[in-house]
């Protein structure tokens, strides 16, 4: 599990999300990356029921990059990394945590590998509408686990196919410069983006 950076790719005005994704894909393939399957990251939100007084939210996320794992994040930021059977546990806790309707978000798209890098380009969709809300790009540099050591390399690589739209260092990475990167951090980044999307649609 290497250092990962998840960033939002702004959709140019005249084009649809699909076209933007295709353009990114072409650029990637031009650099020499090879397509290696697809990926999906989804998030379900649970609201606590009546019995718990300050109402708490729990986000349960899955990622194909970690096929046997289930991530559960509370609104305080604590993240639980559990076996994938955790979902069944959540259904047993229906009395306490009920799934919030219409709050399921997922990101899907192709996955590219370029020697040590893994790039995932995903379209964000909410619920059954399948209309794309935005595009998220995840870039992972597998050999390194210390963000400080490889941020510059990551940025440079992102620059090759993202051009000027390469992102700034995410909050999560910035706060963990010399620590060891873990899968939780990737998921937190995704959650942050999901929350942004929710807020933006809420505002609209």
Partner 1 sequence: MASDVRVSVEALQENQVQEVSLDGQETYVQPLSMSENLAKLAHRIDFSQEDSDGEVQLEPGEEEEEEEEERKKQEAHWPWESIRDKLRTSLVETNVLLDVLKIAKDKKYMVLDPVSQEPQPSKPVLQYVAKKESLSGAADILQKGADRLAKSQAEFSSGSRGQGDFHRELLKLRQYWRLRRAGNNILGDLSFKSAGSHYWHSGVFEVVKTTEEGMAPGSSPLEVRIPSDLEGNAYIQVVIEDQLETIIAVKAALLPNSRREAAPGEPPWNVKLEAAQNVLFCKELFAQLAREAVQMKSTIPHLVVGNQITSQIFPGVQLSIALCHNTVEEDSKDDTTSPQRCQHNHVLEHALHQMLREVHRSNLNPAPPHPVTAPFSSSKKRRVAGPQGLDRKQCTQLQETEGLLERLEKQAKHTLLRARILDMIDKLAQEVNDPCLQAHVSSIGTSTESSVRIIITSPGYEQICKTMLHVNIGVEDVKVVSKDGKVITLSYDEHELRDLLLHQACQHQVNTVQSLSKMMGWQILHLSNHVGTGPVEKLGNASGIMMASPKGDRVISVRNSPSLGPLVSVQLTRQKGCETWRSDVIKDTKWDQVGGSFKPVQWDKAKGRNFVNKIELLMGCLT
Which residue, among 106, 107, 133, has the nearest Cα to 120 in the 3D structure?
107
Applying CB under 8 A, the span of 5-13, 84-92, 121-129, 159-167 interacting with partner 1 comes to: 84-92
Q: Which pair of structure tokens corresponds to residue 92? A: 């047993």
Q: Residues 142, 172: contact at Cβ < 8 Å?
A: no
- To partner 1, the closest distance from the beta carbon of 157 in angstroms equals 19
Q: Which pair of structure tokens corresponds to residue 96? A: 């306490």
Q: Residues 6, 138: contact at Cβ < 8 Å?
A: yes
CA-to-CA separations, 159 to 42, 139, 165, 171, in angstroms, rounded: 27, 11, 8, 19
Measured CA to CA, the distance from residue 143 to residue 138 in angstroms comes to 16
Task: Specify the residue, 20 or 60, whose C-beta has the smaller distance to partner 1.
Answer: 60
Residue from 40, 47, 81, 144 that binds partner 1 (CB under 8 A)? Answer: 81
Task: Specify the residue, 65 or 134, whose C-beta has the smaller distance to partner 1.
Answer: 65
Measured CA to CA, the distance from residue 105 to residue 59 in angstroms comes to 11
Residue 88 sits in the site that holds partner 1 (CB under 8 A): no
**Binders of partner 1 among 131-190, rule CB under 8 A?**
182-184
Binding mask 36-75 for partner 1 (x = CB under 8 A): ----------------------------xxxxxxxx----
Task: Specify the residue, 56 or 66, whose C-beta has the smaller distance to partner 1.
Answer: 66
Site size toward partner 1 (CB under 8 A) is: 18
Largest CA distance in the chain: 56
- To partner 1, the closest distance from the beta carbon of 184 in angstroms equals 7
Task: Specify the residue, 2 or 134, whose C-beta has the smaller distance to partner 1.
Answer: 2
Measured CA to CA, the distance from residue 157 to residue 6 in angstroms comes to 14
- To partner 1, the closest distance from the beta carbon of 115 in angstroms equals 14
| Residue showing tokens 């650029």 | 27
Residues contributing to the site for partner 1 (CB under 8 A): 1, 64-71, 81-86, 182-184
């Amino acid at each position: 599990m290497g250092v990962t950076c998840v960033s939002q790719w702004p959709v140019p005005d005249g084009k649809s999300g699909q076209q933007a994704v295709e353009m990114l894909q072409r650029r990637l393939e031009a650099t020499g990356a090879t397509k290696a399957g697809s990926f999906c990251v989804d998030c379900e939100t649970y609201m606590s029921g009546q019995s718990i007084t300050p109402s708490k939210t729990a986000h349960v996320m899955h990622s194909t990059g970690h096929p046997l794992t289930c991530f559960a994040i509370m609104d305080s930021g604590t993240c639980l990394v559990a076996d994938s059977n955790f979902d069944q546990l959540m259904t047993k806790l229906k009395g306490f945590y009920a799934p919030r309707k219409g709050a399921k978000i997922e990101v899907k798209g192709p996955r590219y590998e370029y020697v040590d890098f893994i790039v995932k380009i995903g379209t964000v969709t909410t619920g059954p509408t399948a209309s794309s809300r935005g595009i998220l790009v995840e870039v992972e540099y597998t050999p390194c686990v210390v963000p400080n050591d490889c941020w510059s390399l990551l940025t440079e690589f992102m620059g090759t196919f993202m051009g000027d739209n390469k992102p700034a260092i995410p909050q999560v990475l910035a706060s963990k410069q010399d620590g060891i990167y873990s899968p939780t951090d990737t998921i937190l980044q995704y959650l942050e983006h999901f929350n942004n999307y929710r807020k933006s649609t809420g505002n609209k």
